Every structure is written in C-alpha cells, then in structure tokens.
Amino acid sequence: MTKKILAHAAQLVTCSGSKAKRGSDMNDLHIIEDGAVIITDDMISAVGTTEELLPKAVGAEIIDCCGKAVLPGFVDSHTHFIFGGYRPLEFSWRLSGVSYMEIMKRGGGINATTIPTRTASLEQLKIDGKKRLSSMLSYGVTTVEGKSGYGLDADTEIKQLEAMRQLNQEHPIDIVTTFMGAHSVPSEFSGRTDDYVDYIIAEVLPAVAAGKLAEFCDVFCEADVFDIEQSRRLLLAAKDHGMKIKLHADEIIRIGGTELAAELGAVSADHLLQASDKGIGMMAEKGVIATLLPATAFSLKEPYARARKMIDSGCAVAMATDFNPGSCFTNSVPLLFALATIYMGMTIEEAVTAMTINGAAALKREEEIGSIDAGKKADIIVLEFPSYQFLHYHFAVNIVERVFKSGELVYDKRKCHGEQL
Ligand code: NIG
Ligand code: FE
C-alpha cells in the first residue's frame, strides 16, 4: 500500500459531488483553503484541511502544494482523436468563405479523413494517438472520450476502436470509447443514406457490440447528413445492444436533434449551437447533459451555443474540446476556458464544473471521477497559481504544473523546464 498526502494547497477545488451539477449548482466548487488530500494507492482516501489531515497521514509521502490550486483532473468528454491524415487546406478554404458543410458536400470533410484512416495500420493509429494523449495529459486531462467514425466500414471502425482499447491499457489517460459509424455517408453509399444506416445496424453495430469495443454510440444528426428518423433508427438499435447514446445535435442547422436526444434518453447532446428553447427545456427536464464545444464554434466562425440560457433553464452543461482533424484541430483546454467566460457568458466556476464533474457525468463516470472526494479515483491536477481564477485570467496559457493519474505523478512541467525541485 502506498500513501501520499497533497498538503497546503492554497485552494483545494474539490467540485465535490457524485452527480451532474445543474443550473445554479454549477457555481459551487466546494473549495477548501489550505486543503489536503490523502491518496491511498490509486484512490482518494480523505479530503480536508491540512491541519485536519496531516496528523492522520503518518508515514505518507508529503507533497507540498503551497501557493498552488489543486483540482480534479479534467474530463474531455468529446473528441475524435484517432484518425489518419490531416486537412490543413480546408482551414484556409473556410477562412476564405467556403462553409464546413459545403466542403463536406464537395467530398472534403470527414470523408477526406476516411481514406488515410482506412489505409493506416493499427500501429500507426496508435503511435499518433499516443502523442495526442500525451499532449492532452499536459493540459490536465485525465479521462478522454474518443470516437470512431473515420472508417465508415466495419474493418476500419473496429480498427479505430481497437486502437483506443489498446491505448487505454498503454497510456495513463483513461479512454472511454464511442462508436460513431454514422459520422458521414461514405462514397460507396453516396445518395443511399438509408442503405448505409441499414448496413451499420445489420453489420457494424453487432460486431462492435460483440467485441465490447464501445460504451456509447453517437451520430452526426445534421441536415444533409443523418436526419432525425435515420438517427432515431440507429440510436434505438444501439440501445438494443446495450449501448448508451450521444448525439451531435443541432450543430449547423436546427433540425431537432436536441429534442431527439431528450426523447431517447441520451446521456448527452453535443454542439447545440442551434438548439431551440423547447429543446433546451426538454434537456433540462430529462437530465440530458448539454455538452458544449466552444473551440469548434470558434474554428468554424459559427455563433456559440447558448450556455447561459441552458444553465439558467436548469441544464447540466459539460464542456469538451471536440479535437478532430477538420472542424476543430485543437485539444487546448485553456482556449475552452477563455471562450466560455469571455464569449459564452459562463462564469469561471461554471466552466470548471463543466470540465470536471459534468464532463464525468457526460461519460456516466460521475461516481468514479470528476471531483476530489474520498472513494474516487485519485485523478488530480496542481496549477502553477494559487487560484482556479487563473484558468481564465491567464487566458490561453496552459497553467497545469503537475498531473496525478490514479495516484501516480505522470506529468510535471517543472521537470520539463529543468527547474530545481
Ligand atoms: O464534431 N460535426 C461532425 N463531426 C466532427 C467533425 C469531424 C471532422 O470534421 O473531421 C465535429 O465537429
Ligand atoms: Fe464531434
């Protein structure tokens, strides 16, 4: 048994709780000044003030957090980090005025990533994936969700999911996998979207489920991609296989994906730039997590999701990067904090809740991670500054100094910078 105590944290930002925080509760971070955490093996065993806990930590390794804020590890609950190839030219095309959906219709977008993902070996996907995970870890991300959806055929979808399954064992970050075969219609099914949905339901979903390769199923429910009826059909089939569901909903054009998420009891509805008042009300009523992806709106120059309206309506809002090679080629957590508070009307407290306990809830992990509470996994980050306020005040800069994953120190910026410890 190993025992550590993180002591003298200027602020221990616990985000305490084991349920998603909704509405005004999102502002309560449950902060302990001069806080301490005892870690036994990979778990948090006690939380309190340094004065209370130090006498109980006889023989424990003492980790001084004087002058630092300590928080739960961030949960990036929506990414597409396993893919082959890159699409830098599309970024320039978009800036010159061609829209994301127009590029997709011309054969770019998701389908342009399908070709290099199909030809990439499992090993290559893992090598690239591992580098991306290490970058995420340096931003304080301790759990990440990853979607398939660049294969659009059984073999490649399974290859993407298998890469994540193996990486979950080989890299400190925990990976939660989502099957997203309905991300786009591949060229071989062009003009036959219903046939493609039939194929996914008949051949791909059963194989993914049989291999226990994905916990969630997601769909790009969007005009000219998968409509409401096609999305409903696919998600109901996924539920029959015991999968939990998520939707890319009302991102570009309002077609009612938000309402569908509530109707089907989805764990989360994501993007939501165009979510209607009615849809927002339904998410609040049904407890669907509203996962906002501000870096995507920023990158696409689309209006931000109505975070204020959602929180004030009683929704639980989570926030994630949407890291992917097209609409949002960044995994920057500092950018999310800046956009959320400067442009989306969220308080920094709400944004921290959205990246921690609510991110965990978007992955159905709210009882295991997302807060600093006794009995949860010891996924903890130490900031370079004494307050969580620096997460937006020092905008767009990564201020994560140390990351503890399952109780182990897995990242220390001071070592990278050659500081004397
Ligand atoms: O969440 N909108 C659909 N899917 C991704 C983009 C994927 C891509 O462009 O490669 C998203 O933004
Ligand atoms: Fe996405």
Print the SS3 string covering the chain.
Answer: CCEEEEEEEEEEECCCCCCCCCHHHHHCCCEEEEEEEEEECCEEEEEEEHHHHHHHCCCCEEEECCCCEEEECEEECCCCCCCCCCCHHHHHHHHCCCCHHHHHHCCCCHHHHHHHHHHCCHHHHHHHHHHHHHHHHHCCEEEEEEECCCCCCHHHHHHHHHHHHHHHHHCCCEEEEEEEEECCCCHHHCCCHHHHHHHHHHHHHHHHHHCCCCCEEEEEECCCCECHHHHHHHHHHHHHCCCEEEEEECCCCCCCHHHHHHHHCCCEEEECCCCCHHHHHHHHHHCCEEEECHHHHHHHCCCCCCHHHHHHCCCCEEECCCCCCCCCCCCCHHHHHHHHHHCCCCCHHHHHHHHCHHHHHHCCCCCCCCCCCCCCECCEEEECCCCCCHHHHCCCCCCEEEEEECCEEEEEHHHHCCCCC
Order the strands of the 216-221 sheet from edge to edge. 74-76, 141-147, 174-182, 216-221, 244-249, 268-271, 289-292, 317-319
> What is the mean pLDDT of the segment spanning 131-148?
98
Whether 322 is in the pocket of ligand 1, judged by its Cβ within 6 Å, is yes
Residue 198 φ/ψ, nearest 5 degrees: -60, -45
Asked if 214 contacts 186 with a C-beta cutoff of 8 angstroms, the reply is no
Q: Taking the CA of residue 108 as centre, how many other CA atoms within 13 Å lie in the half-sphere pointing to its CB?
A: 19
Closest ligand 1 atom to residue 328 Cα is 12
Asked if 46 contacts 72 with a C-beta cutoff of 8 angstroms, the reply is no
- At residue 322, the pLDDT reads 98
Whether 148 is in the pocket of ligand 1, judged by its Cβ within 6 Å, is no
Looking only at the bridges linking them, the beta strands covering 408-412 and 174-182 are unpaired
Whether 248 is in the pocket of ligand 1, judged by its Cβ within 6 Å, is yes
What proportion of the chain, given as a percentage, has pLDDT over 90?
Answer: 97
Whether 294 is in the pocket of ligand 1, judged by its Cβ within 6 Å, is no
Confidence band, pLDDT 50/70/90 cuts, at residue 416? confident
- At residue 299, the pLDDT reads 97
Confidence band, pLDDT 50/70/90 cuts, at residue 107? confident
Q: Which residues have a Cβ under 8 Å from the Cβ of 281 and sit 6 or more positions away?
A: 313
Q: Which residue has the tokens 């929506």?
A: 78
Which ligand is the nearest neighbour of the Cα of 150? 1
Closest residue (by CA) to atom 5 of ligand 1?
327
- Ligand 2 centroid to Cα of residue 248, in Å, is 6
Closest ligand 1 atom to residue 150 Cα is 10
Closest ligand 1 atom to residue 326 Cα is 9
pTM > 0.85: yes
- At residue 106, the pLDDT reads 86
- At residue 38, the pLDDT reads 98
> What is the mean pLDDT of the segment spanning 116-130?
98
Whether 326 is in the pocket of ligand 1, judged by its Cβ within 6 Å, is yes
Look at residue 419 and tell me whether its pLDDT is greater than 80: no
> What is the mean pLDDT of the segment spanning 251-256?
97
Look at residue 417 and tell me whether its pLDDT is greater than 90: no
- At residue 353, the pLDDT reads 99
Whether 251 is in the pocket of ligand 1, judged by its Cβ within 6 Å, is yes
Calculate the average pLDDT of the chain.
97
User: Hey, what are 228's tokens?
Assistant: 């409401």
- At residue 304, the pLDDT reads 98
Closest ligand 1 atom to residue 327 Cα is 9
Whether 324 is in the pocket of ligand 1, judged by its Cβ within 6 Å, is yes
Closest residue (by CA) to atom 3 of ligand 1?
220
Look at residue 257 and tell me whether its pLDDT is greater than 80: yes
Look at residue 371 and tell me whether its pLDDT is greater than 90: yes
Asked if 80 contacts 117 with a C-beta cutoff of 8 angstroms, the reply is no
Confidence band, pLDDT 50/70/90 cuts, at residue 370? very high
Q: pLDDT tens digits for 161-186? A: 999 999 999 999 999 999 999 999 99
- At residue 68, the pLDDT reads 98
> What is the mean pLDDT of the segment spanning 189-207?
98
> What is the mean pLDDT of the segment spanning 134-146?
98
> What is the mean pLDDT of the segment spanning 67-86?
99
Asked if 140 contacts 73 with a C-beta cutoff of 8 angstroms, the reply is yes
Asked if 47 contacts 7 with a C-beta cutoff of 8 angstroms, the reply is no
Nearest alpha carbon to residue 271 among 300, 244, 242: 300
- Ligand 1 centroid to Cα of residue 250, in Å, is 13
- Ligand 1 centroid to Cα of residue 417, in Å, is 35
Closest residue (by CA) to atom 12 of ligand 1?
327
> What is the mean pLDDT of the segment spanning 366-376?
98
- At residue 421, the pLDDT reads 72
> What is the mean pLDDT of the segment spanning 246-253?
97
